[in-house]
Every structure is written in structure tokens, then in C-alpha cells.
Structure 1
Amino acid sequence: MLGYTALVAFAATLVAAKPAVLEAATILQRTEQVKDSYDYVIVGAGTAGLTVADRLSEDGKHSVLVIEYCHVVSDEVIEAGQGRNFDDPGIRYNITSVPQPDMNNRTQFVWLGCCVSGSSAINGMVMVRGTRAEYDGWAELGGPGSTWDWEGVLPYFKRGIHFTPPKQDLAEAVNITWDPEAWGAEENTKIYALFPEYQDPTLIPTYQAVRKMPRMNVPLDGAGGDNGLFWYPSSTDPERYRRSYARTGHYDGIERFEVITRHKARKEVIIAAGAVHTPQVLQLSGIGPAALLESAGIPVLLNVPGVGQNFQDHAFLSVGFEWGDGVGPRGPEVSANGDPRSVAAPNVGAWVGLPTMTTEFEAIAARYEAQDPAEFLPADTHPSVVAGYAAFQRLHAKLLRSKNANAMWLPLQGRAGGIVMSMHVASHGTIDIDPASPESEPIVDFRALSNPTDLDVMVEIIEFMRRYMASPDFAPHSPRETSPGAGVTGKALRDWIRAQYIPTNFNPIATAAKKPLVMGGVVGEDLIVHGAQRLSIVDGSIMPLLPGANTQQTAVDLIKARQ
């Protein structure tokens, strides 16, 4: 197994009135402090692991041990604000993908949080959900009888978040609307969603320009299952105006400690190591594709071909524009003009379906639908994984035709141009152990742009950005495209995309997907690993389809129901 060096025992003596705060968490600094067995052993103290540990121990009846590879860092180190912690080597892993042939053989750094609380410590603090159509897709891929659809997961989304509405003057100033029924006001959670109290006026012109785009939807609340242009809250503590994340919500501050040992679980072992490391934990334990395990000299306990397959993430690139008159909107300058309560980031964007972006949506969907499911997968892909991709292909083609499935996210920054994100990818990668060095970091292969559909979609995303920047609202500022350049189209544009494409927006999923075994799945509806007993997975690796979202509460109810 991996050399997990930090162990935290969550005692079963939590204060019942405050189950979301692990006030009785105990640091184990010596091997002799660790019990021979616990009711639950959780591998990984990230977003999922801490949440599940908290909820399993909230009734005071169960002992829980969480095993974590990384260390605990002071909350003062974890900055609020989008993007501020991405490149801090003290709180992230150092993992790089293999060269990507369809990205001109470029490699890609893999952003993952390496500290107690995981990637919730470094993410962009964007508190949004996917659409009804996308979550219904989870159930469609989950097999007959799956309840992991929009109606099934919404109560858990609401339970896990305490929502604070915007102040009236802010809402009126920038046209923030919201639906209280879409959110929760759970008093027993310390994970918060709120609208920062300052939004820079430079955001208004860009907001209005997007609002006038053809077919653009403007929902009452983006958390209600519909996409479009909307303001969204940040994961921010309303009292301290700092990041609200797994550590502050489900863990009380501790000091660093180091222990390496083995333990037994009386009831269940729960894997929550994340979409990159969960497949590694399984494979090192003898659960995964038999041929891979045998090549690494690992005895095969369970042949589960889907472990490490189906890897997906959001992708993005930046389209450059400048104002020809030199005086157009330049985005928030919080340090000079703003308010520290802004948390230094805009909170508005457009999540757009392909039919809203382009009239070419049907042609793109039809070409994708006509592909042989195995055509753009690795030659040695197991037949069950191919069958699972065929089901994904049918669903993805349907989503490409849906106005209410997010093909693109355009974050509005109040300036010319900016980044654009592809929210669903047809190119699926792999994350596997290295047979020559199994306990080293796993081999990450995004297989980015290996399916040409992703290029087709990104071309349309860029064309949407061009039409948006050509808005009459911006005409007085004479916008000028600097990258790739207004004259770059056709093959030249596709070549530019290959050179600029970033295949991760820090949301890896699906490497232990919740699907039937015959469809390349790793866990069933109950989150138990196929063929195993008392072994479950609760992190983002189980999600069979982007987008990622908080599923930990659902997992806890399933686990408790087994006991």
C-alpha cells in the first residue's frame, strides 16, 4: 500500500449539538496509540474523507480512523481567492502527465491538493452545481434502478451547504437573483456559500454583453438545475471572510504527525484518496485490470478492468483580446478600488449548452454518435470498458444536443477576452500504477484531444468568444483579437488549440466509476467495489460523468444503512 504517514482518529465522543465540527479529533503520534481496529477506516483526509468521517462519527457510536499521506497546514497558509493556492508546492502534489500526442507532445502538471482537506484547500472556491440533465446522466450510466439523478442528489447538496443570500444593495446593483428553495440552510454544517459583498463595476458591461447573446438563458438561480448566465456564490466563511473548505468545515486544527502502520476495520474500509490516487490504492491492493497487476508483480485479488479507466476532467484555454482604444473594462482591481470582502475574484459566468453556442451542434453530435466506440480508445481497452464508453457516447451525444447541458463555461472577468472551458470531454484517459515502480506516483494520461469531437467543440467555444467580443456594447472600445488572431480559422485554429489546450481544470473524476461491472464500472449503486465486501469508495473517482459535485452526504447514508 501507499506509505500513508499521517493518521487521525475521530473519537466517537463528538458533541451531538455540533456534529460538523470535529472537536474530539485526536492526533496519533505514536504507533502504540493506534487501536487494533476501528469501526471504519477511511483512506484519505481530503474533501470526501473528512466529510464522511465527520458524518459517520456524529452520533457518537462509531470509531473512525482516517489515514492521510499529506500533512496538516495552518489555516493561515490557505488563502482565500480563486487561484491563489494552485502553485504553492507546500500544499500540492508534484505529478506530471505523460506527453500528450494530440497536444504536440506537451506534458501537463496535475493540480491536486496535498494537505489535510485535499483539493478543497486549493480550488477556485466556485460554489456551483451542474444541470438537471447532467445529474440525470449519472443515473443513466449507473444502470437500471439507479437513483443518482437530479432529484436523488439534490437533497444531499442542500444538506451539505449553509447558504447566505446576498445583501440587498449588492443584489440590486449587479442584478443577483437566487432561489432559496435551491439551497440549504443546514445549521450543522460549516461549509458555507455566500456572495462576496463587493463586486467590481467593471463586471457589468461584460455581463450585459453576454446577456444579449442569442438564445442566452438567465435562470433565477444557477443552483436550481438550469444553465445560463448567473451570479454564483463562493465557498467563504461569512464571519472570517476566509476560504470555507473541508478543513474548516469537518476538522479541527491539529499539528503534524507521522505514523506508518496497518489496521483493521470492523465494519468497512472506505477509500477517499481522490480520482488520481484511489485507482493506485486499489491496484496496489490487487484490485484492477488483471494484466496490469500481473505486469507489476501484484497478486490479483479482484479483476476489475475499469479501475483507472474513464478518466475525465474539464479543459480550458485562453483567448486573447485587447481594447483598441485602450480604455475598455480592465477587470477588478480589488487591491486598489475594492473591498477585502470581495475575496478578490468575480462571481459571475455563463454556462452554455452547445445549441446555444452554435447552429453546428447537430452536425457535431451526429459525427460523434456515428463513431465506433472503440475507435479512439487505447487498442488494449477491455471490452467492458468499451461497452461503458458506448453508453457514455450515447449520453454525450444527447447532451451535445441539449441546451441545458454545459458544453462551455465562460467566466466573466470584466476585461477583454479571457479563459473558456470545455465542460464535457469525449477523450477519456487512464491513471495506472507504473509496473516498473508501482509505489511511485501513478502514470497519468489525459489522452487529451484524442477524440476529434473535443476539437470540434473547442472551435465552437472560441467562435462564441469571438461573437461575444464583437458585441455592439464593446464597439466603442474597438476590441482586437491578439491570440490566436482574428484570421486564424480552419486547420490553423485547430493547430493553435493543440498548442494551447490545458486538459485539466482540477476536477478529475471517473477512475473508479459507479457503473455496472460489465460497463467498466468499479462500484455499484451502494458504492461497494464490485466483487468485494466491506470496501467502498466515496470520492470523485466514482462520478461517471462530469461535472464533479459534493456527493459525500449520499455516501454516508448508504454506508450507515448497511450497518
Structure 2
Amino acid sequence: MESFDYVIVGAGSAGSVLANRLSEDGKASVCVLEAGPRDWHPFIHIPAGFMYTLVDPKVNWLYTSEPSEWTGGRRIAAPRGKTLGGSSSINGHIYNRGQRLDFDGWAQRGNHGWGYADVLPYFRRTERRIAHEIDDTFRGSDGHLPITDLDWRDPLCEAFIEGAVEMGIPRNLDYNGTQQAGVSYVQRIIRNGRRISAARGYLHPAMKRPNLTVRTHAHATAIVLEGKKAVGVRYRKGGRNGPHVEVRARREVILSGGAVNSPQLLQLSGIGPAPLLQSLGIPVQHDLAGVGENLRDHYAPRFVARVKNAESINEKSHGLKLAREIMKYALTRKGILALNPTLIYVFWKSDERLDNYDLQLTFTPASYKEGVQSRLDDFPGMTIASWQQRPDSTGHVRAKSADPFDHPVIQPNYLAVESDRRVLLAGMKLARRLLASRPLSKYYDREEFPGPQAQSDADLLAAAKQRGTTTFHLMGTCRMAPHTDPTAVVDDQLRLRGIEGLRVVDASIMPTMPSANLNASVLMIAEKAADMIRGRPALEPALLKD
């Protein structure tokens, strides 16, 4: 039986950061267990390859959520990365931190050291911002991950931005800077036409170190406990029929499996709500009611319009035009193969009386079959999605059985709370106004979905039921909170409550949803956690103006 100082479960965004930081001084031995393969697949590294990795079982867990009222009884895909880099190897490449009030809200809930001034230095530490001008109050310049601006320009994107500005939504050159509000091209973790996943930025450089061991095809099946102390991890090598292996952790076991896999592994190990564990025949080692609860996700319906007088991505994705795009990418690393699924962001308010911005909208000059981003449609189109930044509806992740190879039950309860539906309606109406703006009128042929017949609030909510889908932002299932909170799973040092030697470091610890995509925040969490685990003082809080 092998022993290491640290055993990390999951080589995704958080696991890659931790593997690098915990091994960098050469003093501690680190073992990383990843259920998937190495990140060799070419579609991981080509930005447009997300269309394939979203549905590829070789690098994706291919989870689905449970049916619910506001999905019209549909199961919604819940892709999660299953390879080195985790979801940073299959996601939409976006770098989006969120708003200052998101993290100040975490601190106000009793999580010491997690306010915006506290976490901003860790955001800066992750990134190497590549831009003409950099405000070093907010942006970093020497981190592991290059953050670049989208350099694609076409008439549809330019007209969309011009239309937003005419409607009173200002251009914002840096939505990760002083403020988020406005319209802009996206920032992304792509350099020279290639995805830079957390594995490429953090893990691969560290794998040259003799004190770091990375094991792929290692499916964790249980945390090894001695009383109330975590001392190791059991896994199967190579899948369900592979041999059982156990590795020991002299200092800590760290779960970085994400908002689905981390709570499931805890539950399989007997840590979680006692009634659930007992119903599955799993011996209760530690009754912790919040494990798997507090799940949140962004839910987005998409408006689709047919395009005229311009060429959308759809036409460039077939026949000779696609062949030219492939050649262009091979020679210059540019063209549609270098694009991510979202090209433009809008951050705005559902109600002008609000003090904060609670809507996020995305635009791309392409249309997709039934709104699913892995299948381009047959007609030239453009798509705009909208969602509530901080949803109130919560759900759960629960083991389905004691078999670690069974997919868990994932129930986000999309739009279950009335406030979510109210804000979503405002977002859908804004999306429609943006598509109908004067600058876009030259290119706007007609609305394909939901169609001009959908006018009432009931019609729009019916459309949301019919085609709304995830934006892939599952979080919150191992919530960080004070001990007085009955849903608390980890404390503000990310230590599991009631179990020694066990931490959780991933999106599952988020107390509330950031007004953003999650990858940037997960990288920040892991950088901050690495200092906690090593016993280092936290970086000095940023000095910010009120």
C-alpha cells in the first residue's frame, strides 16, 4: 500500500492547481487520481472541438439531470469533464469572475476571508492577462493561464453590440475589471488558437516533478476512514472490473471531483444525510445533512433568428467552406475552429430599480438544432441566450445506489422558485429586443424560436420549458458555511465538518452562485486553498475604493 502526503481526487481545474502548488517546493509527495484518460484527444485542444467533447463518453461523464416541471419533463444533459483538466478541457473556454458583491456575500454569510478584497489577489495569481492595457488593481500578468480577448469580428457581432449600445447598454472593455455591466466580446482561456486548460497551464508542467504522481483511469470508490479521520482513498484501476487499489494520505485527502462527484463520493463513503445512506444500505460513518444539497445551476432558454445578408457560422461549417476553414486553422490558428460557443456577453438588470446586475445574456452568430450547442442547424442563424445570474431555486445530488459506477441523481429544480421565473422573463424580453434592434435589422430575417406567436408571459415560459437548458454551471453541493448553518459541509478553511484530514476544493463549496461562469472562481478557490493546506498566510487583501 502506497502512501503520499496528499491524495487529490480529481484532476480537473481545482485538482490541477492543487497538484502544482502542493508539489512545487519538492517537500511534499502528492498523488492525483483521475477517473478519465490523459488529455490527448485533439478535440480538447481545438477550441471548436467543444461541440464533440460535450457528447464524447471518452472525456465526459455524460450525466443528465432528472425531469422536472419547468423542463417540461425533459432530462437535461449535465456534461462534466472526465480527463486531465476536467471540465476545463471540455468547457466553452470563458473567463468570467463575477461581481464584487458575490464574494462579499460569501463573507457576510460568515465565511471569513472570502470577501472580494480577499479573493481578488488569488484571481490575479491564476491569470496572465494578455491585452494592450492592464489595470493591475484587478488583473494579473504572470499567472499560469493566458486570458485573451476574442479577436473575431463580423457584421453580425458588430451590429449586435451597436444595437445594445443604442438601447443604453454601454460597451465594457473589461467585465472582469472595475465593473461587470455592459456589452463586450468575451475573454477566454485560449492562446494562439489553442485551449489552455488547467491541465495544460498547471498540471503538465508539474508532472515533471518526482514528488507528483498522476494516475489516470483511477475511479475513486471510497474515502478510507479510521474513526473520524480520513486516511486514504480506494479506487478501481481501469474501470468497473479493474483491480481494487488503496492509497494512503499521511496529511490530507482532498476532494476535487466537482459539484457532482465530490458529494457522491462522500455519500458512498458513509458521509452524508443518514436517511439517504440508510436507504441505500450504506453504513453511516458521519451524519452530515448538507452533503449533496444546495445544488444550483444557470438555466437558459435561447432565442434563434434566421439571418439574411450575412454569412453565419452555419454556412462556414459545411462542404468546401469547412475545408477552407480547416486549412485556415492549420496554417494560422484562426477562423471558426478557433472560436468558442459564446462570442459576446451582455450583463444587465431585470429591473432598472435594482442596484446590481442580475441578468447575463450571450450572443453567437450561429444556430443550433433544438438549442443544443453540439449540433449546428441547417439554416443561417444567430442565437441569444439569457439567464438569471444568481438563481434562488436549489436542488440536490444524491447517490442512486451503493455502486460507485452508477450515475447519481442530479435534480437542479430549475425555475422552481417564482423569482427565478420573473427574472428569466425579463431576460427573455430583453433578448428579443436586442435581436430586434435597428443595427441588426439589416440581417434579421425572422424569429425561428420561439417564434412571433409567442408573446405572453405564459408563451415565453412555455418556450423555456420546451428548450431551456443548462449553462453547465453546477455548484454548491458541499457548501461552505459556519457551523450554525444546518446545510454546512465545509468550514471557511474548506475542511469537512466532523472529519479530520479531509477537505473539499471545487465548485461544490460555493455558498451561493457567482454571477458568472464558474471556472475562473474554481481556479481562485484552489489557489487560495493551496495556501491554507500548506499553512501559508493568505495573500494580502486588495486595496479597493468603495
TM-score interval for Structure 1 and Structure 2 normalised by the shorter chain: 0.7 to 0.9
Name the residue aligned to 2:532.
Answer: 558
CA pair 481-224 structure 1, distance change in 2 beyond 3 A = same
SS in structure 1 at match of 2:184: strand
SS in structure 1 at match of 2:33: strand
Identity of aligned residues (%): 29
SS in structure 2 at match of 1:518: coil
- For the 8 Å contact 2:363–2:383, the answer to whether it is kept is no
- For the 8 Å contact 1:230–1:349, the answer to whether it is kept is yes
Name the residue aligned to 1:153.
Answer: 119
Name the residue aligned to 1:402.
Answer: 355
Q: 2:177 aligns with which of 215, 224, 227?
A: 224
Give, in whole Å, the separation in 1 of the partners of 2:343 and 2:355. 22
**1:197 Cα offset (Å):** 4.5
CA pair 68-98 structure 1, distance change in 2 beyond 3 A = same
The one-letter amino acid of 1:128's match is N
CA pair 416-102 structure 1, distance change in 2 beyond 3 A = closer
Deviation by residue 1:127-152 (Cα, 9 ceiling, x = unmatched): 121111222222223x1x62212111
Q: 1:490 aligns with which of 438, 445, 457?
A: 457
Q: 2:73 aligns with which of 98, 105, 117?
A: 105
Name the residue aligned to 2:248.
Answer: 264
Name the residue aligned to 1:433.
Answer: 399
- For the 8 Å contact 2:363–2:382, the answer to whether it is kept is no
Name the residue aligned to 1:282.
Answer: 266
The one-letter amino acid of 2:286's match is L
- For the 8 Å contact 1:408–1:423, the answer to whether it is kept is yes
Supply the RMSD in Å over aligned alpha carbons.
2.6
Alignment of 1:418-457 (within 5 A): 418-435=384-401, 437=403, 440-457=406-423
SS in structure 1 at match of 2:293: coil
Give, in whole Å, the separation in 2 of the partners of 1:76 and 1:469. 35
The one-letter amino acid of 1:330's match is S
Name the residue aligned to 1:64.
Answer: 30
Give, in whole Å, the separation in 2 of the partners of 1:94 and 1:346. 19
Structure 1 residue 302 and structure 2 residue 286: aligned? yes
Q: 1:349 aligns with which of 324, 331, 344?
A: 344
Q: TM-score, normalised by structure 1?
A: 0.77
Deviation by residue 1:415-442 (Cα, 9 ceiling, x = unmatched): 6443333332221110011147565221
Structure 1 residue 244 and structure 2 residue 196: aligned? yes
CA pair 438-294 structure 1, distance change in 2 beyond 3 A = farther
- For the 8 Å contact 1:162–1:190, the answer to whether it is kept is yes
Give, in whole Å, the separation in 1 of the partners of 2:79 and 2:165. 33
Flag structure 1 segments of 5+ consecutive residues without an equivalent.
1-33, 167-176, 363-400
Give, in whole Å, the separation in 1 of the partners of 2:136 and 2:402. 53
Name the residue aligned to 2:510.
Answer: 543
**1:305 Cα offset (Å):** 0.8
CA pair 178-112 structure 1, distance change in 2 beyond 3 A = same
CA pair 352-251 structure 1, distance change in 2 beyond 3 A = closer
Name the residue aligned to 2:97.
Answer: 129
Name the residue aligned to 1:9.
Answer: none
Give, in whole Å, the separation in 2 of the partners of 1:350 and 1:257. 37
Name the residue aligned to 1:184.
Answer: 140
- For the 8 Å contact 2:18–2:527, the answer to whether it is kept is yes
Deviation by residue 1:222-275 (Cα, 9 ceiling, x = unmatched): 11151221233221234xx31101221123388966644112211111111111
CA pair 60-476 structure 1, distance change in 2 beyond 3 A = closer
- For the 8 Å contact 1:93–1:113, the answer to whether it is kept is yes
Name the residue aligned to 2:158.
Answer: 204
**1:198 Cα offset (Å):** 4.3
Structure 1, 191-200 or 539-548: larger mean CA deviation: 191-200
Name the residue aligned to 1:171.
Answer: none
Deviation by residue 1:355-409 (Cα, 9 ceiling, x = unmatched): xx445xx6xxxxxxxxxxxxxxxxxxxxxxxxxxxxxxxxxxxxxx333x34222
CA pair 193-444 structure 1, distance change in 2 beyond 3 A = same
Aligned residue pairs total 466
SS in structure 1 at match of 2:253: strand
CA pair 126-72 structure 1, distance change in 2 beyond 3 A = same
Name the residue aligned to 1:387.
Answer: none
Q: TM-score, normalised by structure 2?
A: 0.79
The one-letter amino acid of 1:327's match is N
Flag structure 2 segments of 5+ consecutive residues without an equivalent.
208-213, 219-236, 238-243, 367-380, 538-546
Deviation by residue 1:150-199 (Cα, 9 ceiling, x = unmatched): 11111111111112115xxxxxxxxxx7635422122xx43221235443
Give, in whole Å, the separation in 1 of the partners of 2:114 and 2:466. 37
CA pair 44-192 structure 1, distance change in 2 beyond 3 A = same
Name the residue aligned to 1:330.
Answer: 312
Name the residue aligned to 2:333.
Answer: 340
The one-letter amino acid of 2:312's match is R
